[in-house]
Amino acid sequence: MSAPVFVCAAAAGAGPGDTVWLDGAEGRHAVSVKRLRAGEEIVLTDGLGSGAAGLVTALEGKDRLAVLVTGTRREPAPAPSLTVVQALPKGDRGELAVETMTETGVDTIVPWSAARCITQWRGERGARALAKWRSTAREAGKQSRRLRFPGIAGLATTGEVAGLLAGAGLAAVLHEESSTPLATVPLPDEGGIVLVVGPEGGIAPEELAAFEAAGATAVRLGPTVLRTSTAGTAAGAAVLSRTARWR
């Protein structure tokens, strides 16, 4: 079983032979929840691509432990990058979408307030929901042993999504009425990939028109209709399996 991952900003500057202390909430989780002990392996990361593997050498109280760094690794920015624009799902299905997309390898998740979204992020409620998505991405990044956690952007409008699509190497909108399979769309030689996942009620015609005007292609994921909270994960896996990132 691979070593557990914890977030520690000091991981970015650590080198073999250094001792790094893990404390605070992460230290408490390592000591009191995971119950790590001296001699066990651990990985520290800043969540931005830097990782330090090491051995636990000492524990202090219930929330602090020392790690002797035995090796370091720098995970480069992935190419091609994969961004998923996710229409706001109902209830806690947004966190489910973020969790599974993080585990799959999506690099950036953009929450989108589509016209047919039942859920709307406004004021403090929106701030809390965005914070929850970011917390979910962080925890899922640790669980899936990533050194580079996905970025969770602020809530985007349809116009902002169109601008994002215009700058992509490949821009695709999942749409059940499309006759173009995602699996057959050529991947770009350069530039990032942006996929758009609509709400349960579907993407409104005017939204699809705006995205196509920005250069996006409507694509069909498969013969079945997925929920908005699972479509991004399935589409992300379908795309990544065709890139060098999964070989």
Tokens (6 digits) for 105: 């390898």
Domains and CATH numbers, the chain: 5-74 (2.40.240.20), 81-241 (3.40.1280.10)
Whether residue 234 is predicted with pLDDT greater than 90 in this model: the reply is: yes
Residue range 168-217, pLDDT digits in tens:
999 999 999 999 999 999 999 889 999 999 999 999 999 999 999 999 99
Place of tokens 């996006």: 216
> Could you give the C-alpha distances from 142 to 11, 44, 62, 123, 192, in angstroms and in order?
14, 10, 20, 29, 24
State how far the Cα of 8 lies from the Cα of 22, in Å rounded to an integer. 7
Whether residue 1 is predicted with pLDDT greater than 80 in this model: the reply is: no
Q: State residue 219's pLDDT score.
A: 97
Residue 91: pLDDT band with limits 50, 70, 90: confident
Place of tokens 């965005």: 130
Average pLDDT, the chain: 95
End-to-end CA, the chain: 21
pTM of the model: 0.94
Q: State residue 87's pLDDT score.
A: 97
Rounded mean pLDDT, 94-98:
97
